[in-house]
Each structure stands twice: as C-alpha cells, then as structure tokens.
Amino acid sequence: ALTIGIVGLPNVGKSTMFNALTKNNVLAANYPFATIEPNVGVVPLPDPRLKVLAGIFGSQAILPATVSFVDIAGIVKGASEGEGLGNKFLANIREADAICQVVRAFVDDDVHHVDGKVSPSSDLETINTELILADLQTLEKAVPRLEKEVKGKKTDRAVYEAAVAAQKILEEGNTLSSQGFDVSDIRELGLLTAKPFIYVFNVDESQLTDEAFQAEMQKLVAPADAIFLNAQLESEVAELDEDEAKELLESVGITEPGLEQLAHKGFNTLGLQTYLTAGPKETRAWTIHKGWTAPQAAGVIHTDFQKGFIKAEIISFDDLVECGSVAEARAKGKARMEGKDYVMADGDVVEFRFNV
Ligand code: GDP
C-alpha cells in the first residue's frame, strides 16, 4: 500500500499527531491489520457518500478507503551523514511515497525546542537541508556511474542529463519537488526531495483561525500544500463521539478536524481516487490511481475480477441518490454498461460482471 512518511524535528508534536491518527476506534474494528506494525497508522478517508449509499442499500457495514502513515524517527541536524539514527531514518523515508513534514509553530515554554527557539522557517530549512544533502550524496555516486553507462550505451543519455539537472537544483539549495522537477527518468535513484511533500504546521489554538499567519506559512512551502492543526486538540477530538467533536472544533472556530484534511490532502498528493461498491453486507470505497481503467479497478477487489472482466455496470453517485435505487436508475437509463477501456471517475458506483 502507498504510505506517507511523517518527519520533523524532535518535540514538534509528531508522536502526538501520529497517536491521534491511530486512535480511531471504528477503523480498528473494521481493519484488524491496522495495528500490525507499531509505527504504521492506517487512517480512514472520511467520505460522507458512504453513509448515504449504505442507507440506500441497507448495508450492515461501511468500509472507507484508507491512507497509511509511517512515523519515521526524528530527523536531526547531521542525519544525512548517516550516523546511527541517520541511516535508519534515510532507509525509512526512502520507502515512503510522499512526505509529511511536521513543523512546530506553537509556543510553549514547557516544551523544549532543539534550537532553543520556535521558528518555522529555520526548522523547514534544517530539514530540507538534510534531505538535500542526502540526495546530493546519492547523486555524487550516481552521476559518474551513469556517465560511464552512457558511454557504454547501457543507459540513455536522457537519464544522465536528468541526474545532472537534479544535482544543479540541489546544489542551489532547492528541493526537487519545489522546482517541479520531473523525476520519471531517474526514479530508481530514490531521491528524497523529489517525493511529493505535505506540510503540517502544529499551531497554537489562536493560530488555527489566523489567516495572515497561515498565508505567510503557506508562502514558505509553496507550491506544496500546508495544513494547520493543533496536535493536542486533534488527539482530544479523536477520542470524542461525533457530536462532541463537532462542538469542540466549533469552540475553536474550525469545521473539519485537521487530521481529516491531512487524510484528504495525502490521498490527492498520492494521485489516488475511489470508486464505490454497495450491497446489503457492506458499502465500501476502493482505492485506485487516477486514470485507471475498469479492469484495473476490478483487480483491486480480486485479481480474478480483472482477468475475467466482461463489463462494469456504473451509476454515478449523484444519479443514484437522485433515483433512490438501482432499479430506478436502470429504469431511467442512468446505469451505464462500460467495457474494458472505460476510465474510472471518482465516486462511480460499480458492479463488475466477470467470468471465473
Ligand atoms: P515529537 O518529538 O515530534 O514526536 O513530539 P511529541 O509529540 O512527543 O511532543 C513533544 C511535546 O510537545 C509533548 O510534551 C507534547 O505534549 C507537546 N505538544 C505536542 N503538540 C502540542 C501542541 O499543539 N501544543 C502544545 N502546547 N504542546 C504540544
């Protein structure tokens, strides 16, 4: 499964946020595997459509799509030198498909800051510098090797040129993703700063609604997305029932829990979307990549569905809700039979027909 690695300096609130992410009881019941690895949190992707479908079909259970987060041990200055924690850190982060960087903005004299002061911009710089140095080390070895391979006609010149271009961006102190670098030619190098980034600012309650402050932080990380949350508040919210949670959030002036925003942003950043299946047993969201065809989507349920794919009966969520039932949707011509070239749309409600 695709995972998002959580990184950040020590004491910025990573563990607090990660624990809040993994506190969801509903999920623990539906996905017993969610706790197999202590540093992996499987988080449900909130989707109000599921409840509506479950109502139409009388489903007993609802299974949302999930996003997996990996808690990666704290990064510190010097991590790229690969000593102790550094090596393990780099290995873990290399395996992540996207990176969620947690940055401290909250001020609390009782919580020690590694550099002695709270400064989001210098924290961002510290972490980015470590990641940039790690990538430069990778390229220092790769570029001469690729050069030789090009001479020996074992590698395309374009690959070597991409590596040199990446090196230049990094030497100028920029991450690859911030410059929109196309990493497709040198993906095997596993460059860290080429991964998609999401920034989470762990803020004071007062900053949750401070638009000027948030705009300033967003500018620091553009073109990446920034999310603003209070990790302590999020961990309280995660333990409340829906109504109580809503009330607590309203009392600080926000409507959507920060962790839900994070799950949505993470899902988008990874280039994913969902389609839906429903019946008396369960209503379920299935995760696919944007642009996948109907047979590829069927393969997520079972490889046999992909192999034996005949066609898919598809009703868009909105049409189904408007019609109120599958029978009515069929009668009104809203149920489409799609073949193997059909490209799935987000929120398609699907029933696959296949040979076994
Ligand atoms: P980590 O080292 O990044 O994993 O940080 P922790 O999650 O362990 O948090 C470090 C300390 O900061 C703990 O004492 C937390 O209770 C505290 N902390 C975390 N988030 C917040 C926050 O939003 N506000 C305040 N005031 N303290 C926080």
Residue bearing the bigger pLDDT, 43 or 217: 217
In a domain, 302, yes or no: yes
16 annotated as belonging to a binding site for a ligand: yes
Count of the separate structural domains present in the chain: 1
Query: What's residue 58's pLDDT?
Result: 96
312 assigned to some structural domain: yes
How many angstroms separate the CA atoms of 269 and 263, rounded?
A: 10
User: Is 40 part of any domain?
Assistant: no
Of the candidates 150, 156, 216, the one whose C-alpha atom is nearest the C-alpha of residue 184 is: 156
Give Cα separations from 86 to 76, 195, 295, 337 (angstroms): 8, 19, 42, 53
Whether 332 maps to a domain, the answer reads: yes
The model's pTM: 0.86
Question: Has residue 316 been placed in a domain?
Answer: yes
334 in a structural domain: yes
Q: What is d(CA 98, CA 241) in angstroms, rounded to the nearest whole number?
A: 30
Closest CA to 273 of 225, 197, 344, 340: 344
Q: Which atom of ligand 1 lies closest to the CA of 202?
A: 23
CA of 10, closest atom in ligand 1? 2
The strand pair at 282-289 and 61-63 is best described as: parallel
Residue 296, domain CATH: 3.10.20.30
Residue with tokens 């090596």, as numbered in its chain = 87
Distance (Å, whole) CA 354 – CA 348? 18
Which of 111, 118, 205, 259 is the best mutation target for the ligand 1 pocket, counting ligand atoms within 8 Å of the beta carbon and taking the most? 111
230 domain-assigned: no
32 against 55, higher pLDDT? 55
pLDDT band with cut points at 50, 70 and 90 for residue 84 = very low
Cα–Cα distance for residue pair 107/99, rounded to 1 Å: 24
* Residue 198 domain-assigned (yes or no): no
ipTM of this complex prediction, to 2 decimal places: 0.97
Say what the pLDDT of residue 289 is: 95
Residues with CB under 6 A from ligand 1: 8, 10-16, 74, 106, 108, 111, 202, 230-232
Domain range holding 318? 291-354
Conformation bin of residue 5: beta by default, left when phi > 0, alpha when psi is -120 to 50: beta
